Amino acid sequence: MKPGLGIRHALAAAVACVLVVPAAAQNWPARPVRIIVPYSPGGGIDIVARLLAQKLTEQIGGPFVVDNRPGAAGVLGAELVARAAPDGYTLFASSTEFAINPSVRAKLPYDPFKDFTHISQLAFVQFILASHPSVPVRNIKELIALAKARPGQLTYGSSGTGGGPHLAGELFQSMAGIRWVHVPFKGAGPASLAVMSGEIDFAFGATIGLLGQVRNGKLRAVAVTGMKRFAGLPEVPTVAESGVPGYSATGWYGFYAPAGISPEIVRKLYTEAIRALGDPDVKEKLARGGNEYVMSSPEEFTGFLRAEIAKWTKVVRDSNIRVD
């Protein structure tokens, strides 16, 4: 072999390997793409993921299909994606619990940063803090006054320990300087039934779950939990504007892929997801479910996720919450 020939062959092989990634990305998708949703069908993230999958199928082809893998507050589905091949054929759409689980579970089988590529935040949904009509509270200031007069006696319910609505109540307790009692239920439906029956005094729940009961007078909306008012209940103030400055606790949905996926595929997914959820018809469907379209860049979404994990870690630590 001539001197330097082996080096030239090695260089040629290296260049060929580099060129494979764009070619693979250019031909993607050549078969169906799964979007893993780590919850049962019918929930908020499932609805958003199905709208996204339908539009991505129309825009890119594929098709894109939702694959529900419920269990352990989203952990089982997340682990499946973390261990999947980073070839663009397994994606992940999850909710706020993705940022909460690192602090409420002693050990996760994945790292939310090392094992995932963050594509975009998709949408967010506010919670309503609602009360039974018999509770003598019409606003946040009256709630704080009553809670301080009756420390540890008022109750609030949520869809379960360690979920977004539960931690919204714990964050409120910390920031408002009150003490009340959390009552967990197995889902949002049982929690709303409990507050409507007067079994508990208050409940935190997603706008889509409580809006109907508020409008028909079965529940009273005390406040919403985002930084701005909810368009579906414009007369109901936020917690922050009602006496707890800086308070914000919203549910949100994110779009991910396994770590190591081609940057070209990530860019295509991000661009097409913006186009999909920005479609006026899709935005209107999201709004009907109480969701607000967001779409942030991969870099913005990673920063947002870090801030959310830090925020909820402090709430969990201060409240001494564990689910395992």
Q: Please tell me whether residues 141 and 192 are part of one structural domain.
A: yes
CA distance 12 to 42: 51
Q: Domain limits at 147?
A: 126-242
- Alpha-carbon gap, residue 236 to 226, rounded angstroms: 11
Kindly state whether residues 42 and 185 are assigned to the same domain.
Answer: no
Please state, in angstroms and rounded to a whole number, the distance separating the CA atoms of residues 64 and 66: 7
Q: If we measure between CA atoms, which residue out of 92, 97, 28 comes closest to residue 66?
A: 92
Measured CA to CA in angstroms, residue 128 lies from 20, 37, 234 at distances of: 50, 24, 12
Looking at the fold, whether 194 and 235 belong to one and the same domain comes out as: yes
Do 137 and 114 share a structural domain?
no
Q: What is the CATH number of the domain that holds 224?
A: 3.40.190.10
Q: Residue 7 has what pLDDT? A: 42
Say what the pTM is.
Answer: 0.83
Are 71 and 152 contained in the same domain?
A: no
The label of the residue with tokens 């109907």 reads: 212
Residue 99 lies in a domain: yes
One domain for residues 141 and 229:
yes
Mark which of 182, 213, 242 sits at the end of a domain. Answer: 242
Cα(164)–Cα(58) distance, integer angstroms: 33
Closest CA to 259 of 96, 108, 143, 87: 87
Neighbours of 33 (CB within 10 A): 23
Residue 291: phi and psi, rounded to 5, are -95, 150
* Alpha-helix residue ranges (DSSP H) falling in 43-187: 44-59, 75-82, 97-104, 140-149, 164-176
Please give the average pLDDT of every successive group of 10 residues along the chain, which has 324 residues.
46 44 74 94 87 96 92 92 98 95 92 98 94 96 97 93 92 95 88 94 90 93 94 94 94 97 97 95 88 91 96 91 76
Whether 282 and 218 map to the same domain: the answer is no
Q: Which of 185, 216, 242 is the endpoint of a domain?
A: 242
Domain membership of residue 5 (yes or no) is no
| CATH for 260 | 3.40.190.150
Last residue of a domain, one of 242, 263, 280: 242
- State the total domains in the chain: 2
pLDDT at 324: 66
